[in-house]
Chain A
Amino acid sequence: MSLVNYSTREITCKIVYYGPGRSGKTSNLQYIHAFVPEERKGPMVSLATETDRTLFFDFLPLDLGTISGFRTRMQLYTVPGQVYYNATRKLVLRGADGVVFVADSQPEQWEENIESLRNLHENLLEEDIDVKTFPMVIQYNKRDLPGVIPVAELDDTLNFRGVPAFPAAAVAGEGVFDTLKAASKLVLQSLSRRFGQEIQQP
């Protein structure tokens, strides 16, 4: 849940990158961290296994500057994607203001995408979050690989809510910032509705 401090005029929001194992969640954050200017980001924390699988989370704090007089901060998290780590995944999802669902466009990950999306809904429901209105953006990652499933087909299966969706190749950075901008916008809009104030994107 966003932290809005009226006395210091600061807002802090949490966006979680969700998706099956190795779909590119960490790659998104790594690219963002590499290309956001120094003064707009904090250090990135990655709690991973020896083989670079996210074990608990990656964390990246960003400063979006002042929006409608409020200093706006975004905290980006990733979750471990493997089915096995659901207990820790639930912890990281707690208090999220929005989700970026990173789907793996490879055909061999078809089932994993569906299972991960189902798992996301299950975990959101457990937290009493309305899955129909919760701010969400989908990213179809790994577009640069050969033989990937067409975006339209992925969209058909995964995007039944009709949320903003972006093709991407996160390692090279394609689609990464588009995805982030869309997610931030949705989160801030949702926030402004909740607090009855007009918070516009710059």
Chain B
Amino acid sequence: MMMGSELPHLIDALRPPIQRFVRESRARIALLVSSAGQVLAQHGFTRSYQVRNVASLAAATHASSHALAQLAGAERWEHLYHGGRERQLFLAPLRTPIEDLILVVIFDADSSLGIVRLFYENLEKEVAALPEFQQKRERRDQESFEHDLEAGLEYTSPDAASED
């Protein structure tokens, strides 16, 4: 998980790739989180509490999918896809040299699973090559865990940081 002090820098670096991804894939919503659910980039949300809820649920889904994969004898899944009538969900790991992130995409008939998958592959390569993701950092103590979670929201939120 990213420490609060580095976040603004990292979030700035992630903004162009995510915007490009959304533009090319025509997705409605995109969210990039750490494996702990810390928000690193977002597009398309209107309220910050929505971002936080989707972020923590996505991290939880990813964690349980991973546990299922191990029980199923698969090393890991490539992606999770939910097909709804109007909207669809795509959830996949974004692997970087120092840690795995999670990408959540919500799209409708303007896009397709194939398109999202295609541009997700590009996005993964782009993010993995960012200088910010090359160097493993010292983990700070666990005191600031919750603070760091909230900090992600603060820097990426469409409106004021934490409100319910």
Touch between A and B in complex, CB under 8 Å? yes
Residue from the list B35, B52, B142 in contact with A84, Cβ < 8 A: B52
A50 near B1: Cβ-Cβ < 8 Å: yes
- Inter-chain contact B57/A88, CB cutoff 8 Å: yes
Residues of A within 8 A of B138 (CB): none
**Which of B56, B59, B67, B145 is the one whose CB lies under 8 Å from A21?**
B145
**A53 CB–B CB distance under 8 Å:** yes
B64: interface (CB < 8 Å) = yes
Task: Using CB atoms, name the residue of chain B closest to A87.
Answer: B53
B contact residues, range: 20 to 34
- Check A83 against B146 for contact (C-beta < 8 Å): yes
Contact A82 B145 (CB under 8 A): yes
In Å, the complex CA distance between A56 and B67 comes to 12
Those of B44-97 within 8 Å (CB) of chain A? 52-54, 56-57, 59-60, 63-64, 67
Interface size, chain A (Cβ < 8 Å): 20
Residues of B near A88 (CB, < 8 A) are 56-57, 60
Identify B36's interface contact among A49, A83, A91, CB under 8 A. A49
Contacts of B146 in A (CB 8 A): 21, 82-84
Q: Is B108 an interface residue (CB 8 A)?
A: no
- Residues in A74-89 with C-beta less than 8 Å from chain B: 80, 82-88
| B142 near A22: Cβ-Cβ < 8 Å | yes
Q: Do the beta carbons of A85 and B56 come within 8 Å of each other?
A: yes
Consensus secondary structure, chain B interface = helix
> In whole angstroms, what is the CA distance A47 to B52 when docked?
19
Is there an interface contact between B67 and A86, defined as CB atoms closer than 8 Å? no
Asked if A55 and B36 make an inter-chain contact with CB atoms under 8 angstroms apart, the answer reads: yes
**A45 proximal to B (CB < 8 A):** yes
A91: chain B residues at CB < 8 Å are 57, 60
Among A48, A53, A87, find the residue whose CB has the most chain B CB atoms closer than 10 A.
A87
> Bound state CA distance, A87 and B56, in angstroms?
7
* Residues in B whose Cβ lies below 8 Å from that of A47: 60, 63-64, 67
B132 within 8 Å of A (CB atoms):
no
Beyond known contacts A50-B36, A83-B146: 5 more, CB 8 A cutoff: A80-B56, A85-B56, A87-B52, A87-B53, A87-B54
Interface residues of A (CB under 8 A from B): 21-22, 45, 47-51, 53, 55-56, 80, 82-88, 91
Which 3 residue pairs are nearest across A and B when measured between Cβ atoms? A56-B60, A87-B53, A47-B63
